[in-house]
Each structure stands twice: as C-alpha cells, then as structure tokens.
A and B are shown apart, each in its own frame.
Chain A
Amino acid sequence: MSAPTVVAPTSNQELQEAVCACSHLAVRGGGSKPGLSPEQPAPVTLDLRLLSGLLEYDPGEFTFTARAGTPLKTVAATLAEHGQYLPFDPPWVDQGATLGGTVAAGLSGSGRYRYGGVRDFLLGVRFVDGQGRLVRGGGKVVKNAAGFDLPKLLVGSLGRLGVLAEVTFKVFPQPEQYTTLRLPQPSLEAALATLATLARSSFDLEALEWVEEEGCPVLYLRQGGLAAPLAERQAALRSWLGGGEPLAAADEVRFWHTARELAWVPEGSLCAKVPLRLEQVAALDALLSAYGAPRRYSAGAAWAWVAWPAAAAELHRALSRLQLGGLLLKGQAPSPLLGIRSAPTLAERIKGVLDPFNRFPPLG
C-alpha cells in the first residue's frame, strides 16, 4: 500500500472538493487525539490545520465563530484579552488541540462540573458531509430552537459523519480569581459519599477532581469568582466540609494545568475517557487498580480519564463486562469506541444519510 496522501484545504470550497475527490479519507486537526484516527490509515488524510482563525467575535454577545482547525490556544488567548473563556475547559490545549477536534471528540474538561460541557456551549456548525455538501445547523445566537440540532449530532461524531468547517460557541466571563481546596479521603466509599453530599449542597464549585495519591482518593474543589469574597467563601466551604487544605496560588494553577493537559498520563500510554454514574465508580476503580492503571475522575466523577497500561482490546473487553462505554484518545484500536455501544441502529441510519458512500471511517 502506498503512503497516505495528506491534503490540507484552505477554504470551505477546497474542503468540499477534497471530500468529493476521495473514496476513503480520515480527518485530523492538531493531532492531540491520535486514538480517533482509524487503525488502518485511510488513503487520504484531510489535515484541517490551515482552516484556522476566528471569523467573528463580539465580546458583548458572549459568542464567537471560528474555523474548525483553530487551535484552542489561539481561541483561549483571544478570549482572555476580554476576560472571557470556554467554561467547559477542553483538554490538551498545549498539545495543539483544535476547536473542531474537541467537538468531534466530544471532550470537556474539569470545568464541565459548573456550567456544562462542549455540547452545551456549541451553538452552531458548518460541516461538509460525505456527499461533499456544506451544511449549516444551529445558529450564532445563544438561544435558538429552529431546525434539527445538527451541532449536537456532530458533538462526538469522531469525523465519521462529516468534517467540521466552522463552529460557533457561547462563552462566559471568566472568574476574576480561583482558589482550590485539597481534601484527602480515607477510602473510595468516603470519597463517593463526599461527592454525593456536595452534589446537593449550594456551593458553586467550578470543578471537582478526584485524584489517586499514594493509594488514597484526594478531592480537589475549585471555587472561582470575584476576588474580594473568595477567601471567605473558601473558609465557608472548608468549615462545611470539616477540613481541607487550601492550595498555594502557584500550586493551584499548576494542579489545574496538569488536569487540563492530562500531564499525569505516562508518556506513550494509552488514554481513554470512560463516562460514569457514581454507582459505577467502585467497579471501574477495582479494575483499574488490578491493572495498576493511573486514573482521575473528573467533574464529580462524571467520567474517568484512564491511562491504560495494556492493549486497547483488553480495555474494550473489560469495559464491556462492566457495561461501560469508553473512547480511546491516545493509542490505536479497530474503533475508538470501546465497550458497550449506544443506539447502534440509529447510528447506522444517520450514517447512511450523511455518509452514504462510506468515505469516512465507520462509526461502529
């Protein structure tokens, strides 16, 4: 087999032409999530990094529109100039992750806890489907109920239903300052109980991360907002919890940077996201302990980030046994979707409309 050809379109029209010209192709952006690419490289790779740049940004609207290949880092820097941010905290900013890759992977980070995930902040899309059609869904305003919600269909579509060309997001004003409380837990059961209690409390946590430190769960509780009342807010939280140790400012920044970049995942290790309900944490944690797999539970254990030390096929089988689904982000497998599948017949029917010639890799 000849080496795969790389095509890098510079406009929506070139993107459409490229899709029409290939019988089999795969899409890549910044390359931060190689697990999403098919195991057998497609003859043609569409590199979206030249489809980059902000198209519209009015800070007063709390929205922006950008080309899909725009690096998150560029977006974050522009938003920060106006005191705004992407509240869902997408991962791998420093590794070159793009807006389009984040949407296609359906990835959110720690900030998911407070206001919602990538699905909740994506307002509109333009994408090229498998027939080369440039399709628009959603809109550019923060509230819109017209037509089918194609933006949400593209969230997590893994480049299997279409190639994202442009995305419109809602953004929020960034908290003036953050502070984080470190709260060690004696056991997994205790950590789960703390999460359950916090879920019902009216403390507005920006993020809630669960880290394994020397065999014990440690919770990191992040608060954010206006600078003036923040110390007192943390004291109130601490007194309510009956403990917890405030992180020094530099440690605070470092901790959340490590979380966002998944910098704790060993170099060369497989990395997967496994969505969870609280009652599923114990069984998954037992499995991961047995394999000695480093892990973190993010956004109040809404999902686990797993650094898997064995073969992807083994994780796939183990997740299936636990009735869990997962997404392989680093590493290679026949499909990035691991474990149990959601709505397979529906997936097939929708794929049949958007990619009838199977130009993109299979969704299953």
Chain B
Amino acid sequence: MAQTALLDELARSIPPERLLRQPAQLVPYESDALTAFRSRPAAVLLAATQEEVVQAVRLCHREAIPFVARGSGTSLSGGSLPIQDGLVIALNRLNRILHLDPAQRIAVVEPGVINLAVSRAAAPYGLYYAPDPSSQQICTIGGNVAFNSGGAHCLKYGMTANHVLGLKVVLPDGEVVELGGASLEGVGPDWTGFFVGSEGLFGIALEITLRLLPKPALYRTVLAAYDSLEAAGDAVASIVAAGLLPGAMEIMDALAIEAAEAAVQAGYPRDAAALLIVELEGEPLQVEAEFAQLLQVVDRSHPRTLSVAKDDADRARIWKGRKSAFSAVGRLSPDYLVQDGVVPRSRLGAALAAIEQMSRRHALRVANVFHAGDGNLHPLILYDGRVDGELERAEALAGEILQLCIELGGSITGEHGVGVEKRQYMAALFAETDLAVMAELRRALDPGELANRGKMFPDGEAPALRAQGPHPLERLGLLSRE
C-alpha cells in the first residue's frame, strides 16, 4: 500500500514519538474546532524542521497520498480536518521567530508561531502584529495565512493577507519557492497575496514575512447600550457617515450579552437589547479630537447607557466580554453552530431582521455577535444534538443565513474560510466559470489534488462522520470560537 511505503520511509528519519500511527494517538487529530466533522488520518507527522515538511510533501507527491497541514486546530470551517488515510503534517514545533527587524517593521516567522507571540516579540520595539482573530492566544500564523484570518479590526487594517509581505512555500509537488519579500512593495503578480487564503490547497508556508505596525499611542473605547439591534446598527451608520474610521466596531445582542456576563462579568448592562463597542486608536491629539466627535454622534443615537473605558484594565474588561462571547453562548446550549457570513454594512439591519424570523420559524435560538464595522455576521445557532432533528434544523437555518448573505451582495465567509463546512455554498456565490478557473489554477500546482483535498471546492470528497459537543481544547478553556 502507498501509505505503508510512505510511512516506512518517513520512519527511517523520524522517531516514532513524532510519527503517530496508533489509533489512540490519532484521536486528538480527528477534528478541529468544527467538531461536527471527524476523520481519521493514516498518520500524524509532528514535523520538527522545514526539511521534514518538504520531505513529507515530496513523499506524499511521489506516493499520491493526500496531506493536510495543521497548526493548533482552531479552524471553524473544518479547514484542518484530516483526510481519511492521508497524512497530517503538524507544524506546531516549527515555532521560531527567525528574524525581527524593527527598522524595516517586519518579522520572519515559522508557521507554528502563535499569533499573539508575534506581538509579544515585537512589543519591546513599540510594534505589534495587527490581525487579531479571537483565538489569537492559540492559533498559529500558518493557519492564519492559509485561511486569511480576520479579527475585529479589518475595516481599518485589513485581513491577514494585508499583513503578509513574503513567503517561503513548499508547493504540493515538493518544489520550494520564495514569494514576495521584506519590502512593502514588489513588481509582477502578487504571488504572496494569491497564496494567502488558499486554504492549504497551494501547499505549506514554511517561512512567513509579516508586516508589523507601530503600537497606537492611545486607545479610546466606548460602550453603548441600546433598546434594539436596529438602533445599534443605525449608530454604526452615523459613525461612518461622520467620516470617522474607528479601529473596531462590534455589536452583541441580548442573548450574547447575557452569556458573556454570566461567563466573565464584563460589566455589560444586562437588560440591553444590543451593545455597541467602538474603539478609536492612534496619535493622542487626533484620537481625543475624534473621540469628542464620536461621543456627539453616539449621544445623538439615543443609547440607554453610554460609558467610556477609564483605563487599560477597563478596556481589557470590555474586550474580554466580547472575545469570550462565543464560548459563553456555548454554555447556554449543549451545541451550537457558528456562521461567518458578510453583508454590506448598510444591509446589517435587514440581515438581522431576517435572521430573527428564521430563528422563530426553525424554533431555534440564535445569538448574534458581529463585527459591525465590516458587516461580518457571527450568528450562533443554538441546538441540542441529542434531540432528534435539531442538528438538521440548525444546519438548514445556517444554510438560509448564508443564502441571505449572498442575496444581500455579501459573502459566505468573512474570516473562517470555506473549508469543508461551506463548500456547497461556493456554487451559489461564484459562477461555474469562476470555480472552473479556480480549480484549474489549483490543478496547475497540484495535479493530484493532494494538498488539503476535499476543502473549498463544492464537489470535494466528504469523508466525515458526525459528532457533537465542544472541542476538547474548548472544554479546557484554551480555545474560543469566533
């Protein structure tokens, strides 16, 4: 068998404690943060060096064995779900920050480096790494690159792709190429940008050159409570109309507020129908002037309460509630699905009203936590997997929400990626020709479709079993979903 040949050859150079082949060893790798899917790989390679990754990819290519790269397994779209009988190449041990150049404002890192570790390493120089997915304490840069991760600051700062300048990549056939570099600019096609967000289908990033930004000198964070989601949404529209460009604008609904309060006591007003967090950052004199303007705009939007973070601790508390909202909502229900659709900002009100109707029709509770600044919805559909038919109803509701996002001119995913979860909606979002061209581009780099087979494209294989319940890491409080 091809698998045996591959594993025997790998075993010649890799010690058994880093080449997992026993069923008991493989269980933790059977799924990622999208726990509804499970699949057992033939083996897991805990790669220790870039050379081992390249060797493994070359062997997979020779033996036509599909492979999946994996970091911390926090994908919410099933992006790092193993392929049945394929190889998982785990990259967590490739966790060195190879180079940090404050004058050039770059960091060159290996794919297993944790997102937040980049900002920690840059902090002594007054710099930070801007993309901040909610899982940033545990998710890896390699995964962020593969799925073009977002966070709460995308309107102003963009997504991961906007912060990746260069890459060293092993393509699916084992060729190693260098794309882009340490300069902010290049000439010729933007290969780096093309690779970011390719969901592992174009191979594995071995080294990533990240752009760092100077840490803002001052933050001003406002928390406003409203009697309706619509009023909170209108406030966002007025802020934008005033010509302000906040770093973040986040909204939570009553159910999300209740859950966050129960979990972390963020001090949110419990009886509000909606909560709006707005944050300005930058040079102190400019921020204070914008802040005065912001307060006027928010005041005119008739909030029932309005408060301002007094200090860093207060600001951290406000954000803690927001960032833990997902796992907190999970406490209200045995199971839940998270969606990640995007709508034009002006259609947020329409989208939320439609979701509320859908929620009633399917008799399932939906909590809403979303990035209002960039129209990125995160409806959490609560269900009980033990009740016959509830999962199916939840999935139907999720599908209707994605369909709605497409109809309103948006996207099926803002930051979680397509993965296995949203494959079937790609055909609704893109025309046949668009998908055909994407598939051809993929096959030009990977004729055998070995790299992360079964993801992104609608007709991919679906070797997954169903299961419910939180991810083991989530149970330990190490993982939060957004």
Contact = CB atoms under 8 A, between A and B. Distances in A.
22 contacts: A61-B344, A135-B433, A141-B343, A141-B410, A144-B410, A146-B411, A147-B438, A149-B197, A150-B194, A152-B194, A154-B189, A156-B189, A158-B188, A200-B127, A202-B214, A225-B289, A275-B183, A277-B181, A302-B184, A341-B188, A342-B191, A354-B441
Contacts of B444: 349-350, 352-353
B344 A141 contact: yes
Interface string B439-456: 011101100000000001
A145 B345 contact: no
B390 interface: no
Given A142-B155, A200-B127, A232-B285, A149 B185 contact: no
Contact of A106 (B187, B198, B282): B187
Interface stretch (B265-273, B380-388, B424-432): B424-432
Given A173-B244, A204-B283, A155 B193 contact: yes
A245 to B, nearest CB: 20
Interface string A176-189: 10000000000000
Interface stretch (A68-76, A116-124, A210-218): A116-124
Interface stretch (B38-46, B60-68, B252-260, B415-423): B415-423
List of 6 A-B pairs having minimum Cβ-Cβ separation, nearest first: A152-B193, A196-B103, A302-B184, A327-B187, A229-B285, A202-B217
Given A141-B343, A303-B185, A350 B410 contact: no
A6 interface: no
Size range of the interface on A?
35 or more
A278 to B, nearest CB: 6
B251 to A, nearest CB: 15
Contact of A143 (B175, B181, B376): B376
A108 interface: yes
B243 A83 contact: yes
Contacts of A116: 158, 162
Contacts of B185: 106, 108, 112, 117, 273, 275, 299, 302-303
A137 B434 contact: yes
A143 B149 CA distance: 10
Nearest to A327: B187
Interface of A: 58-63, 83, 106, 108, 112, 115-117, 119-120, 129, 133-137, 139-150, 152-158, 161, 172-173, 176, 195-196, 199-204, 225-226, 228-229, 232-233, 236, 273, 275-279, 299-300, 302-303, 325-327, 337, 341-343, 345-347, 349-350, 352-354, 363
B371 interface: yes
Given A61-B346, A135-B433, A302-B183, A143 B161 contact: no
Contacts of A277: 104, 181-183
B78 to A, nearest CB: 14
Of A83, A139, A154, A341, chain B has the most CB atoms within 10 Å of the CB of A139
B411 A225 contact: no
